[in-house]
């Protein structure tokens, strides 16, 4: 049965993707991403594997690791993302006010230049989940910064001087910028934030040389807005039909429909395709938006050059839990059930690990990567629909009545903190949350620029457990965990796997940990000055391998500490669950760079 179905869809995918052009591919970055001595894009490479072939630091000598040097950013609140390394320069970003530091590695990290944009600090109040920023991008001698106020700015990588800037959105209606830009071909791509403010999601491409807008693709609306072709754009192998981005909405609700695109974008240069996800539909009160709310909570495959949608897949139609679908799409070419396939693997907020054929958009697998997940029992691979558990519906009970014990909580079994994939072990390394919630929908009226949430949440660990976090090694073909490490708090740090047989990750208490990639045995740990919600990277300088990470606790999980909130249901429900974190660490951005001496 299964084999027949695959065969049928393979034919379809071959037809779909036959005429492929990569004429616009940016050759410089295509080469640079394979150079392990540098770290040229936030997720390490276009496939978003966060894997490095470096192995000077390995499972035998990692126990001797020590701090080589460190650097204070001088900025409090949450430091997500991680620095880039281009040649002898390291580029370090901060949360609002979005400073960028160019550190000269040939001068022990001396500051070559600093850039600090002028932004209205009113934007702080409309950033839902701390004033985070997930990093800068590099291409063609420029550094690209996506500011909190949505401005995209191109800086001369040598001097920090502004080459151009472009305004992507309007903070007056709650639109903000938190995502790292992605460079592909001659375009710089950015998504928007503001799903908690009734913002309509879009992905926008700008020319890297001029800052001129090339295309914009919305997550909902008519085909002219979503850049969908009713006949050619597919969902699970079938044409989407006309104006599918309006189909799952009542009246004009789609105009406040969320589906923001604040996560990561991957790129397959062989098919000139970008992949990213869209977030929650607006509001969080599902009763106010009957229908499937297309295309929120959706994996998108788009042509880089035109923005036209090739295929879509909606993971959580008519969301009732804020399970944003924005987590990274990891592109892996490997065997799947005896056949070489070009896969897209995605660990969603909703707790399912999706495996798709990225050429055709066929759904190959979907299994829970946290056993606590209880809002759905499984995903039907034929229809693509989650098999929902009726008791966990937040709509069924009606407004102002909480549904209790839903797992995962709104911040998901994993949030934006990106996974790592090691081709050496064939395993994914998942930085996980292990959190459940009570969810009480409330009626909310739309006021431009004000929160448009419509739900009160309370979060806590799964019943009978105390750990809010898990670090999991996952076999994507067996669709099973191989080992896991329980962590007291969420693992809100993007791990790094290397050919040294080591995986590095950070904890919210502030530990940088190195573990054996095969067994999970902890080989090294060091407590950095603040909790780690940043992503680990590695590079060489002067022939020597270094490992670098940003500390600086905050983000959604630590919003209580970052923004000084104290009520259990504050911070969209996160404050109560993570209250104990302040016993372990404090605010403050610091870069720590590690080496093995000798
Ligand atoms: Ca959201």
DSSP string, 561-591: HHHT--STTTGGGTTTTTGGGGGT-----EE
- Going from the Cα of 69 to the center of ligand 1, the distance in angstroms, rounded, reads 37
Gyration radius of the chain over CA positions:
22
Determine contact, residues 370/413, Cβ cutoff 8 Å.
yes
How far is it, in rounded angstroms, from Cα 541 to Cα 32?
15
Q: For the chain, how long is the longest CA-to-CA vector?
A: 67
Cβ neighbours of residue 389 under 8 Å, at least 6 residues apart? 374, 375, 376, 377
Is residue 59 helix, strand or coil? coil
Q: What CATH number is given for 15-595 in this structure?
A: 2.140.10.10
Determine contact, residues 232/298, Cβ cutoff 8 Å.
no
pLDDT value of position 379: 98
pLDDT value of position 438: 98
pLDDT value of position 24: 40
Which of 282, 295, 279, 281 is CA-nearest to residue 240? 295
- Going from the Cα of 200 to the center of ligand 1, the distance in angstroms, rounded, reads 12
Buried b (16+ CB within 10 A) or exposed e, 306-339: ebbbbbbbbbbbbbbbbbbbbbbbbbbeeebeee
- Going from the Cα of 525 to the center of ligand 1, the distance in angstroms, rounded, reads 33
pLDDT value of position 304: 98
* Residue 301 burial (CB count, 10 A): 25
Residue numbers in the chain where pLDDT is lower than 50 = 1-25
Environment class of residue 139 by beta-carbon count within 10 Å: exposed (0-12), middle (13-18) or buried (19+)? buried
pTM of the model: 0.95
- Going from the Cα of 163 to the center of ligand 1, the distance in angstroms, rounded, reads 33
How far is it, in rounded angstroms, from Cα 444 to Cα 453?
7
pLDDT value of position 366: 98
Determine contact, residues 496/538, Cβ cutoff 8 Å.
yes
- Going from the Cα of 283 to the center of ligand 1, the distance in angstroms, rounded, reads 9
How far is it, in rounded angstroms, from Cα 266 to Cα 273?
8
Which of 39, 65, 114, 20 is CA-nearest to residue 540? 39
pLDDT value of position 73: 98
What DSSP state is assigned to residue 172?
G
Is residue 359 helix, strand or coil? coil
Q: What residue spans define the domains of the chain?
A: 15-595
The alpha carbon torsion through 43, 558, 261, 285 (nearest 10 deg) reads 150
- Going from the Cα of 349 to the center of ligand 1, the distance in angstroms, rounded, reads 10
Which of 390, 392, 432 is CA-nearest to residue 411? 432
pLDDT value of position 162: 98
Catalytically annotated residue among 130, 223, 268, 322: 322
Which single residue is written with the structure tokens 């009732």?
Answer: 320
Structure-block tokens of residue 162: 């502004």
- Going from the Cα of 194 to the center of ligand 1, the distance in angstroms, rounded, reads 8
How far is it, in rounded angstroms, from Cα 297 to Cα 301?
13
- Going from the Cα of 317 to the center of ligand 1, the distance in angstroms, rounded, reads 14
Q: Is 322 part of the annotated catalytic residue set? A: yes
Q: How many CA atoms lie within 13 A of 13 on its CB side?
A: 21
Structure-block tokens of residue 538: 């590695």
Angle at 559 between CA 116 and CA 279, to 5 degrees: 85
pLDDT value of position 109: 94
Helix, strand, coil share (%) of the chain residues, nearest 5: 10, 35, 50
């Amino acid at each position: 049965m299964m084999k027949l179905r695959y065969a049928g869809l393979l034919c379809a995918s071959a037809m779909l993707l036959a005429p492929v052009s990569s004429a616009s591919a940016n050759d410089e970055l295509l080469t640079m991403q394979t150079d392990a001595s540098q770290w040229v894009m936030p997720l390490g490479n276009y496939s978003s594997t966060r894997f490095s072939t470096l192995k000077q630091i390995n499972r035998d000598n990692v126990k001797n690791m020590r701090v080589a040097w460190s650097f204070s950013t001088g900025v409090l609140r949450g430091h997500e993302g991680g620095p880039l390394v281009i040649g002898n320069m390291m580029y370090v970003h901060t949360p609002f006010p979005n400073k960028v530091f160019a550190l000269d590695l040939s001068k022990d990290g001396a500051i070559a230049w600093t850039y600090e944009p002028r932004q209205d600090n009113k934007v702080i109040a409309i950033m839902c989940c701390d004033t985070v920023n997930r990093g800068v991008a590099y291409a063609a001698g420029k550094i690209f910064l996506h500011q909190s106020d949505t401005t995209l700015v191109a800086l001369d990588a040598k001097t920090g001087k502004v080459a151009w800037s472009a305004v992507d959105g309007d903070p007056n209606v709650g639109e903000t910028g938190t995502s790292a830009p992605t460079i592909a071909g001659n375009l710089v791509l950015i998504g928007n934030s503001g799903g908690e403010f009734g913002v309509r999601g879009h992905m926008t491409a700008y020319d890297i040389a001029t800052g001129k807008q090339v295309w914009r693709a919305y997550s909902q609306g008519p085909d002219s807005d979503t850049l969908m072709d009713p006949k050619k754009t597919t969902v699970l192998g079938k044409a989407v039909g006309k104006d599918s981005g309006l189909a799952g909405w009542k009246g004009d609700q789609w105009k406040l429909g969320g589906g923001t695109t604040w996560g990561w974008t991957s790129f397959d240069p062989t098919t000139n395709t970008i992949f990213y996800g869209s977030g929650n539909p607006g509001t969080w009160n599902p009763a106010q938006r009957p229908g499937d709310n297309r295309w929120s909570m959706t994996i998108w495959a788009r042509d880089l050059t035109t923005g036209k949608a090739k295929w879509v897949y909606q993971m959580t139609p008519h969301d009732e839990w804020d399970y944003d679908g924005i987590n990274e799409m990891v592109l892996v070419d490997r065997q799947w059930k005896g056949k070489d396939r070009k896969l897209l693997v995605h660990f969603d907020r909703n707790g399912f690990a999706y495996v798709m054929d990225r050429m055709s958009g066929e759904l190959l697998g979907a299994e829970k990567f946290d056993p606590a997940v209880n809002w759905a029992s499984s995903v039907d691979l034929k229809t693509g629909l989650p098999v929902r558990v009726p008791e966990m519906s937040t709509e069924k009970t009606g407004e102002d009545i909480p549904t209790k014990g839903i797992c995962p909580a709104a911040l998901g079994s994993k949030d934006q903190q990106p996974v790592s994939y090691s081709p050496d072990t064939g395993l994914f390394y998942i930085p996980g949350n292990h959190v459940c919630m009570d969810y009480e929908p409330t009626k909310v009226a739309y006021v431009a620029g004000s929160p448009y949430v419509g739900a009160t949440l309370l979060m806590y660990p799964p019943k009978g457990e105390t750990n809010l976090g898990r670090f999991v090694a996952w076999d994507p073909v067996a669709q099973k965990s191989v080992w896991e490490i329980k962590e007291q708090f969420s693992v809100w740090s993007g791990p790094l796997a290397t050919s040294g047989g080591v995986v590095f990750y950070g904890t919210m208490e502030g530990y940088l940990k190195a573990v054996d990639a095969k067994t999970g045995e902890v080989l090294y740990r060091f407590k950095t000055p603040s909790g780690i919600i940043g992503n680990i990277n590695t590079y060489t300088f002067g022939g020597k391998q270094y490992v670098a990470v940003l500390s600086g606790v905050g983000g959604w999980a630590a919003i209580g500490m970052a923004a000084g909130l104290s009520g259990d249901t504050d911070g969209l429900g996160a404050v109560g669950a993570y209250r104990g974190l302040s016993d372990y660490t404090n605010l403050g951005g610091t870069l720590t760079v590690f080496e093995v001496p000798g």
